[in-house]
Amino acid sequence: MVREIESVLDGLRVEAVAAAGRLTVTLAGGVVLTVENDFRLRTAAEVEHFYPGLTLRPSAALAALTGARVAAASVTRSGGLELAFDSGTVLSVPPDTTGSRPAPAWRVAGPAGPLFAAEPGGYLAV
């Protein structure tokens, strides 16, 4: 599973980042990452925590992802997502282990449809 998501995302360039109620990261080739769950963004200088359920304000660190390339992608055993970018920034999305959200904590879709999703309860759907 981890190698599969790596093979899909590795090296893709971030084309756009939007934050309006959820985080949407548009990658090259029509691949889109949507994050509905809380997440954090780590840079060399700071760690930012985001809570889409409460508010999601775009930050300079989020905007700076545009143009970066995915250097590594992995899925944790519990269904969390870790994306490292060539800029040194790391996006971490924990799974929704409570199953309280109607939408997946995060999902990746391509032009032909869904590819990966963290289902409620911490399960990964492919």
Structural domain including 104 reads: 2-125
Q: Per residue in 61-75, pLDDT tens? A: 899 999 999 999 998
> In the block, which residue shows the tokens 């032009």?
111
* Integer angstrom CA distances of residue 51 from 12, 36, 61, 75, 111: 26, 9, 15, 20, 28
CB 126 within 8 A of CB 15: no
pLDDT, tens digit (0-9, with 9 covering 90-100), for 33-87: 999 889 999 999 999 988 877 766 778 889 999 999 999 999 888 889 999 999 9
Total domains in the fold of the chain:
1
Query: 112: left (phi > 0), else alpha (psi -120 to 50), else beta?
Result: alpha
- What confidence tier does 102 reach under pLDDT thresholds 50, 70, 90? low
* pTM: predicted TM-score of the whole model, two decimal places: 0.89
**What's the token pair of residue 108?**
């990746």
Task: Answer for the pair 20, 34: CB distance below 8 angstroms, yes or no.
Answer: no
DSSP string, 23-87: EEEEEGGGEEEEE-S-EEEE-SS-EEEEBTTTB----HHHHTTTT-BEEEEEE-TTS-EEEEETT
List the 81-85 sheet strands across, edge first.
Answer: 47-50, 39-42, 90-93, 81-85, 70-75
